[in-house]
Homo-oligomer: A and B are copies of this chain.
Amino acid sequence: MKNRCENCIVRQFNSLRAMSKEELKRVSDSKITKTIKKGQAIFEEGEKLNGVFCVRDGVSKLSKLSANGKDQIVKLASKGEVMGQRSVIAEESTNLSAVAVSDMEVCFIPKEGIVDALHKNPNFTVEVLRHMAHDLREADDVIVNMSQKTVKQRIAEAFLYLRDNFGADTDGFLNVTLSREDIANVVGTATESCIRIISEFKKKEYIKTSGKKIGVVDEKKLRDLVDGF
């Protein structure tokens, strides 16, 4: 097998880089690489996870079903991100579902290697902790945005976020392509409202579209809108 974690570029981006050589070797020996097709589920809300998933390629949406039957997308995970760690660490079933938004390649890492390293390698644990502290801070920001910003502001922000975090191609179109429904589920609004606002942004030339693809055209205008002028 040539795909050793030790050589995996993706490790740069997550807490695994704080593991010792031996720990990483063990992880590498026990991991299973999977190919996931767009639209396929990686795990579902309520499941007990026996390990974590490390994203090598592609993007996954992490969402939670609300009482009214709508999915709320809480996070988008891409290259380097580890999914399911919360569940493994807290020894609870997951509170989120993970579904591929594009074709993906992920590595499943059985929890034993992770849990063991957590108890034996303080550097690794602190690294994971740091990462989680950061996630928590981001979650606070999301809460504030959700409750204090209008749908229009949240959609504008989402486009800027997507571009800054996942990049754009040479023509300026976002690398991640989400359906209108998914965008609506990210910002927490009705699909129709989302579509209407996208049309409006397009008419005002804040963004451009080509099929499902969306591109940021006028960053400043979008930014001003987010900040309330």
Residues of A within 8 A of B (CB): 64, 66-68, 70, 72, 74, 85-86, 89-90, 92, 95-96, 118-123, 125-126, 128-130, 132-137, 139-149, 187-189, 227-228
Contact = CB atoms under 8 A, between A and B. Distances in A.
A189 B89 CA distance: 34
Nearest to A95: B137
Contacts of A129: 89, 118, 125, 128-129, 132
Main secondary structure of the interface of A (DSSP, over half): helix
The complex is assembled from copies of this chain, and their number is 2
Most buried by B among A119, A144, A189: A144
B188 A148 contact: yes
A227 B69 CA distance: 11
A137 B66 contact: no
A97 to B, nearest CB: 12
Contact of A136 (B70, B130, B132, B149): B132
B148 A147 contact: no
